[in-house]
Amino acid sequence: MQSLVSHDRVWIDKQTPEVFHALNSVAAAVRNAAAAVDLGRAVMELVNVRVSQLNGCAYCLDVHFRAAREAGVTTQQLAVLDAWERSPHLYSDQERAALVLAETVTALPGEAAIELQYAAARQHLSDDQVSVLIWAATTIGAFNRVSIMSKHPVRVRKEN
């Protein structure tokens, strides 16, 4: 196989495209499942941005910040997302539950913490929604790792 690199990194999405296509298929299935269980695009993009913040993926943050805005997430919600727990009036109960679950999936704390956070999320989410959100956080986490390990660049663009 030809080596595809960015500086000192292999762009694994280009080097092994069949696996990257499979990951994109998973993401599409998650989006479809979210729509089927009444998880709006805004909730899903809040999860994508928050997980990308936690993982430090600049490329995914750039992509999903714009997608979140297009989905109706406010600039204010995005500006304080890193402190969402201290901003109780900016996010709906469903959004807060989704963020709790997304952070739990990303951090994988000890079992006692997982039980508490899972229980908190279940107060506002159906079993189907919990399942989809766990898949969503898992999937964006995988994309974060692809972009970070590949060192995908954030391209400078003119602001709108």
Q: What angle do CA 154, 156, 157 make, to 5 degrees?
A: 125
What domains does the chain contain, in order, with CATH numbers?
5-150 (1.20.1290.10)
Q: Tell me how far apart the alpha carbons of residues 65 and 78 are, in angstroms, rounded to a whole number.
A: 8
Token pair in block for residue 135: 């898949």
Q: Tell me how far apart the alpha carbons of residues 103 and 106 are, in angstroms, rounded to a whole number.
A: 5
Residue in the block written with tokens 């692809």: 146
* Three-state DSSP state, 9: strand
Per-residue pLDDT of the chain in tens (160 residues, 90 and over written 9)? 444 544 689 999 999 999 999 999 999 999 999 999 999 999 999 999 999 999 999 999 999 999 999 999 999 999 999 999 999 899 999 999 999 999 999 999 999 999 999 999 999 999 999 999 999 999 999 999 999 999 999 999 887 6
